[in-house]
Structure 1
Amino acid sequence: MPPGITVGAVTSAALRHALTDPGEPVLRFLPDHVNELLAALDAPPRLAAHLRAVHDVACQLAEALAQQCPQLAFDASAVLYGAATHDIGKTLHTDELSAPGSAHEPAGYQLLLQHGIDPALARFARTHAS
């Protein structure tokens, strides 16, 4: 189980599994504060699993860019945060988990702002489709 996630903090066994199971292939865990936010929002397990997969790929890409193009300046921590939270608005628009839609984008931005996230980081939820 990753640090920061306690059994009692996650309301459903399926969400706990999505956030804490290493998976096959093994996926990196989301940052603690993202796990806590997803638990507080009682996020759909499918969304948590998706965010972990996207975050893992973003980590791999950021590591490869840093190694292959060390002169390239980019804010890896911001990119990784964006990957970990880009679809968080789907906690409010669950129909968009399996159907097209963009209502989750501004909703996710507002949701992150309401939870004290810096607008520069919250913007990924609003702009990831564009």
Structure 2
Amino acid sequence: MSPPALIEVVDDDEDVRRMMVMVLESHGFKVRAHDGGASYLKSPKASAPRVMLLDVRMPQMSGIELQIRLREAGDDIPVIFMSGESLPHETQAAQRSDAIAFLSKPFHTMELLKAIEAGLEKQTQVSNKPT
């Protein structure tokens, strides 16, 4: 039996992190919450299938900046961007990235679960690709 998928939640809003952990754990996911990009980068990389829920607008390091750093480091974790309010250039950059989805807060749980499923499927396809 494979381990449950790990969802990495990166958001500077504590209430959002708490709510995401509660919702995702109730759907059988393992969840790690981080208050920003630096916190995520300090955490150990998990070996379980994983997807990142990433806030676009955060202090110190934006979600866009974190995704760029991850790709530069060779980390292809599927990303789902979330935003409560973003400037037009931030929204456009997130939508141009290789993200699975761009969700505007507040969003419906089913919309989130569908995006996570797409991210896990993408990761499985990448993992099974012959080298």
TM over 0.5: no
TM (normalized to structure 1)?
A: 0.30
TM (normalized to structure 2)?
A: 0.30
**Of Structure 1 and Structure 2, which has the larger fraction of its residues in strand?**
2
- Structure of greater Rg: 1
